[in-house]
Amino acid sequence: MKKFSVVVAGGGSTFTPGIVLMLLANQHRFPLRALKFYDNDGARQETIAEACKVILKEQAPDIEFSYTTDPKQAFTDVDFVMAHIRVGKYQMREKDEKIPLRHGVLGQETCGPGGIAYGMRSIGGVLEIVDYMEKYSPNAWMLNYSNPAAIVAEATRRLRPAAKILNICDMPIGIESRMAQIAGLKDRKEMRVRYYGLNHFGWWTSIEDQQGNDLMPKIREHVAKHGYVPPTDEHGVEASWNDTFAKAKDVWALDPDTFPNTYLKYYLFPDYVVQHSNPERTRANEVMDHREKNVFGSCNAIIQAGKSSAGDLEIDEHASYIVDLATAIAFNTQERMLLIVPNNGAINNFDPEAMVEIPCLVGKSGPEPLVVGNIPQFQKGLMSQQVAVEKLVVDAWEHRSYQKLWQAITLSKTVPSASVAKAILDDLIEANREYWPELK
Ligand code: NAD
Ligand code: G6P
Ligand code: MN
């Protein structure tokens, strides 16, 4: 069986150890010959990498492991780039979330003005990684889950049209795992779904078991009462996420024939979200206090003890979609997966140049999208507005345009007026001086 060389871009990410453990658990179907980490913050990456080095030595000493901040070393001789960078790190996520809240608008990592601000930072960072990959390993594929994936995907579609890059999100996978549990199945892979939308902005229209039986009625009965909070919660999900899964009940009620992505709550119930936000303590603070502290604490303990049992790093089970995707390309499995791809007619009555999230068959030459057909007025209206926001952000980045970015924020369904949009934009510009191109 062929063995592969992978570089994780954003090696210092809190998700890196969970993904390394997941890669190790999948060596039977996606074997590695080399694993490298790349990050532009050497000190942050070193902690994660030195701990992973201990784990790899214990579990897979044959995999050649290294980490670096040098692009040439990182991107030379790789088959896959797994990219999860966060330009500006949590310090800037906190600002993305808190600045709009000061103006009475919701603050969220990937939605509304916060997501737009993050997009303006991410585009350059992700393009740089695409360019390194194309320069040093022109045959490699980039599996990107750096956020905001919708904006990043539009930027690469437009600015690097020939790049071998696949954009993917784990939210549908997380929701489908809950649906499977609700339907009494062991694994979401026992379901066959139809879904369409934009990233963090879509709907399931059909869910069947492997025999073709409709699972929608059973799931619907549960979602109508509890949203996506499953009968028993084995995962010990944090309260803020649990609220999002519960709120899916109200989001669902708008179109009970389908099931919504949880992120639609930010667009359909923005007033509710603002009322339930604490402008002094947002999700970034929770993540810094919990996930970041836990992961780095464990890594330091492992480094000191020289053995992995000293920490409590956990395998990121549901990140196995990344292995599914890599395996699909490496071994031409033709697995059916939701990916963010150019619409190109798949949704018949929607912009062919929009990046949409739809089922695709994935093989060695990439994704083959399945036809969705026509979508209803409600979804089409919402998606048209949101896709215009995403395109305007890329326009703004490309042409360094204040005007386009003001239009983008104004058009976001989360923002009440052009004057509020302008006030938020001016604060965001101030906060992002180090990261955004200078706007004219
Ligand atoms: P994190 O801040 O812990 O890690 C990100 C790393 O990226 C940091 O070590 C940082 O130094 C590095 N980085 C920043 N800019 C870089 C650049 N230009 N080049 C190289 N490295 C750079 O963040 P996290 O919470 O672990 O999340 C990582 C990313 O994964 C985020 O973009 C997050 O939104 C994304 N994510 C996406 C999905 C999805 O569904 N698509 C799921 C989970 C996480
Ligand atoms: C889901 C989404 C990601 C997002 C993450 C935020 O997994 O699909 O796109 O980055 O949630 O989670 P966090 O725990 O960082 O708030
Ligand atoms: Mn996502």
Q: Is 103 annotated as a binding residue?
A: no
Cα-based distances in Å from 413 to 42, 204, 333, 350, 383: 39, 21, 39, 19, 11
What mean pLDDT is predicted for residues 387-413?
Answer: 99
Out of 145, 263, 266, 267, pick the active-site residue. Answer: 263
CB 357 within 8 A of CB 35: no
Nearest-atom number in ligand 2 for the CA of 200 is 8
For all residues of the chain together, what is the average pLDDT? 97
Q: Is 139 annotated as a binding residue?
A: no
- Dump pLDDT digits (tens) for 201-258: 999 999 999 999 999 999 999 999 999 999 887 667 899 999 999 999 999 999 999 9
What mean pLDDT is predicted for residues 417-426?
Answer: 99
Q: Is 170 a catalytic residue?
A: yes
- DSSP-derived secondary structure for 249-309: HHHHHTSTTSEE-GGGHHHH-HHHHHHT-BTTB-HHHHHIIIIIHHHHHHHHHHHHHTSGG
What mean pLDDT is predicted for residues 4-17?
Answer: 98
- Rounded to an integer, what is the distance from CA 278 to the centroid of its chain? 24
pTM of this prediction?
0.98
DSSP reduced 3-state for 235: coil
Ligand 2 pocket at CB < 6 A: 109-110, 147, 169-171, 283, 287
Nearest Cα residue to atom 35 of ligand 1? 146
| Nearest ligand atom owner, CA of 199 | 3
| Nearest ligand atom owner, CA of 296 | 1
Q: Which of 15, 91, 128, 156 to mutate to test the pocket of ligand 1 (most atoms within 8 A of CB)?
A: 15
What are the φ and ψ backbone dihedral angles of 358, each rounded to 5 degrees?
-145, 165
Distance 1 CA to ligand 3 centre (A): 32
Nearest-atom number in ligand 1 for the CA of 295 is 3
Nearest Cα residue to atom 10 of ligand 2? 147
CB 254 within 8 A of CB 266: no
Q: Which of 37, 48, 69, 86 to mutate to test the pocket of ligand 1 (most atoms within 8 A of CB)?
A: 86
Q: Is 336 annotated as a binding residue?
A: no
Distance 340 CA to ligand 3 centre (A): 11
- Dump pLDDT digits (tens) for 41-76: 999 999 999 999 999 999 999 999 999 999 999 999
CB environment 103-142: b (16+ within 10 A), e (fewer)? bebbbbbbbbbbbbbbbbbbbebbbebbebbbebbeebbb
Q: Is 263 a catalytic residue?
A: yes
Nearest Cα residue to atom 15 of ligand 2? 287
Q: Is 285 annotated as a binding residue?
A: no
Distance 135 CA to ligand 2 centre (A): 30
CA nearest to 71, candidates 133, 124, 163: 133
- Dump pLDDT digits (tens) for 294-322: 999 999 999 999 999 999 999 998 889 99
Ligand 1 pocket at CB < 6 A: 9-10, 12-15, 39-41, 44-45, 84-87, 89-90, 125, 128, 145-147, 149, 169-171
- Dump pLDDT digits (tens) for 78-119: 999 999 999 999 999 999 999 999 999 999 999 999 999 999
% of the chain beyond a pLDDT of 90:
97
**pLDDT recorded at residue 318:** 81
Q: Which of 171, 176, 263, 286 to mutate to test the pocket of ligand 2 (most atoms within 8 A of CB)?
A: 171
% of the chain beyond a pLDDT of 70:
100
Nearest-atom number in ligand 2 for the CA of 145 is 9
**pLDDT recorded at residue 235:** 67
- Dump pLDDT digits (tens) for 149-188: 999 999 999 999 999 999 999 999 999 999 999 999 999 9
Distance 3 CA to ligand 2 centre (A): 30
**pLDDT recorded at residue 236:** 78
Q: Is 200 annotated as a binding residue?
A: yes
What mean pLDDT is predicted for residues 357-374?
Answer: 98
**Can you name the residues that pair with 230 across neighbouring β-strands?**
none
Is the ipTM higher than 0.90? The answer is yes
**pLDDT recorded at residue 233:** 74
Distance 182 CA to ligand 1 centre (A): 31
How many other C-beta atoms lie within 10 A of the C-beta of residue 272? Answer: 14
Distance 2 CA to ligand 3 centre (A): 30
| Nearest ligand atom owner, CA of 144 | 1
Nearest Cα residue to atom 1 of ligand 1? 13
Distance 202 CA to ligand 1 centre (A): 23
**pLDDT recorded at residue 232:** 86
Nearest Cα residue to atom 6 of ligand 2? 109
Amino acid at 238: E
Out of 131, 170, 243, 351, pick the active-site residue. Answer: 170
Query: CA–CA separation, 68 vs 89, rounded Å?
Result: 18
